[in-house]
């Protein structure tokens, strides 16, 4: 399996899923008190007392508080707790796509990992200086095509899409086509230094899916690396498949 950027030294530890079992005790309605006997005492043969015959025994009617409505469950969660907090939608990971070739002006370079981003920035500056002098506008996002990597550094092509051919190119620059064909698309957000985590996740994804990648990969800079703070970068990573 091709290992991207630096060698992956440790396997990615999947996060353990935490399942929360909620068990609420059902509130039990108190049993109503048994009704007392409603049978009145037999009236004496003499003239009965008006108080004894006028009112029935009060215990024959159950208390409304005991039988009308049960008390609410003390364990019922509040409505706010039942609604999950909104979650930011993640970028698609490993989206299948087809790369279309574009005309690009490119410059070759080599870099060490310790100064990788500065080297890439210098390459983009050189290309932009050439295009600005000749009044040629970009026809797409800047790209880095990694042609080889090892544990100490890498070789690359810095590319900028154009619609017209620049003139008087330096020896290290040329006109060509950007990569084409079937690839998987991944998105990185944040600094260039943190991209090792992204590439480790990509490697694990390819291993899990048993996919074989070509010995190259492409970074498309959706944010201008010359004007954007490094920790605000948004980069599409394309992994061409065999």
Question: Residue 76's Cα: distance from chain center in Å?
Answer: 32
In the sheet that holds 143-149, the strands lie side by side as: 95-99, 181-189, 234-240, 217-221, 143-149, 153-161, 103-112, 173-177
pLDDT of residue 215: 84
Per the document, the length of the chain is 242
CB-side neighbour CA atoms (13 Å) of 78:
2
Q: Strands (DSSP E) along the chain, which ranges?
A: 95-99, 103-112, 143-149, 153-161, 173-177, 181-189, 217-221, 234-240
Least confident of 78-87, 92-101, 120-129, 178-187: 78-87
Burial class (CB in 10 A: 0-12, 13-18, 19+), 169: middle
Q: What pLDDT digit, counting tens, does each position of 147-184 carry?
A: 998 889 999 999 999 999 999 999 999 999 999 999 99
Average pLDDT for 78-103: 73
Q: What pLDDT digit, counting tens, does each position of 199-221 carry?
A: 999 999 999 999 999 888 999 99
Q: What pLDDT digit, counting tens, does each position of 185-204 carry?
A: 999 999 998 998 999 999 99
Average pLDDT for 120-130: 97
Look up tokens 């049993």; give the residue: 31
Look up tokens 């970009």; give the residue: 138
Does this model's pTM top 0.75? no
If one compares 52 and 18, the residue with the highest pLDDT of the two is: 52
pLDDT of residue 230: 87
Domains of the chain: 101-240 (3.20.80.10)
CB-side neighbour CA atoms (13 Å) of 156:
25
Question: Residue 42's Cα: distance from chain center in Å?
Answer: 82
Question: Residue 80's Cα: distance from chain center in Å?
Answer: 24
């Amino acid at each position: 399996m091709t290992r991207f950027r630096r060698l992956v030294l440790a396997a990615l530890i999947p996060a353990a899923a935490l399942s929360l079992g909620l068990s609420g005790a059902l509130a039990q309605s108190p049993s109503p008190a048994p009704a007392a006997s409603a049978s009145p005492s037999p009236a004496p043969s003499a003239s009965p007392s008006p108080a004894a015959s006028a009112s029935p025994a009060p215990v024959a009617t159950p208390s409304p508080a005991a039988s009308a409505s049960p008390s609410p469950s003390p364990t019922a969660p509040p409505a706010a707790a039942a609604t999950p907090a909104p979650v930011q939608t993640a970028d698609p990971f490993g989206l299948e796509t087809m790369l279309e070739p574009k005309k690009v002006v490119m410059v070759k370079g080599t870099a060490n990992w310790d100064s990788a981003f500065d080297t890439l920035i210098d390459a983009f500056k050189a290309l932009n200086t050439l295009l600005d002098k000749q009044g040629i506008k970009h026809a797409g996002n800047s790209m880095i095509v990694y042609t080889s990597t090892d544990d100490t550094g890498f070789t690359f092509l810095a590319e900028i899409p154009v619609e017209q051919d620049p003139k008087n190119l330096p020896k290290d620059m040329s006109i060509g086509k950007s990569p084409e064909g079937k690839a998987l698309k991944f998105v990185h957000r944040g600094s260039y230094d943190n991209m090792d985590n992204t590439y480790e996740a990509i490697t694990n994804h390819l291993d899990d899916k048993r996919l074989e990648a070509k010995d190259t990969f492409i970074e498309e800079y959706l944010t201008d690396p010359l004007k954007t703070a490094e920790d605000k970068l948004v980069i599409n990573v394309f992994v061409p498949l065999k």
